Homo-oligomer: A and B are copies of this chain.
Amino acid sequence: MLFLVHMQVNIPHDLDPADAAALIAKEKAYSQELQRNGTWRHLWRMVGQYANYSVFDVASNDELHQKLSALPLYPYMTLEVTPLAQHPSALAPN
């Protein structure tokens, strides 16, 4: 089941740079793990913004929330979640 997720990252300027770098590294590792297991199906950078559009494939709302709230950068993110369904004109199944 697919969800479009818009992620806006707002790391406070006064966060210790080392802490920030560590979080960002953890975020990358975590996201690549989810990409490998098919949960995080698409990840695109929005041009000119510290933000991305992603598509998640999960079995339930609860699984999505669990996966999103486990993002290392979650405390510094604003997320918008849009549930997606099969479009009648789409050739490919979701």
A22 touches B (CB below 8 Å): no
Docked-complex contact B45 and A87, CB < 8 angstroms: yes
Docked-complex contact B44 and A90, CB < 8 angstroms: yes
Which residues of B are found within 8 Å of A47, using beta-carbon distances? 3, 61, 64-65, 68, 81-85
Residue tally, chain A, CB below 8 Å to B: 50
Which residues of B are found within 8 Å of A5, using beta-carbon distances? 48
Looking at the assembled complex, report how far the CB atom of A21 sits from the nearest CB atom of chain B, in whole angstroms.
13
Docked-complex contact A4 and B65, CB < 8 angstroms: no
Docked-complex contact A88 and B48, CB < 8 angstroms: no
Which residues of B are found within 8 Å of A66, using beta-carbon distances? 85
A75–B53 Cα gap in the complex (Å)? 20
Q: List 30 A-B pairs, Cβ < 8 Å.
A: A1-B60, A2-B61, A13-B15, A13-B75, A13-B76, A27-B89, A35-B91, A42-B92, A43-B89, A43-B90, A44-B84, A44-B86, A44-B87, A44-B94, A45-B88, A45-B90, A46-B83, A47-B61, A47-B68, A47-B82, A47-B84, A48-B81, A52-B87, A53-B82, A61-B83, A61-B84, A62-B85, A62-B86, A62-B94, A64-B83
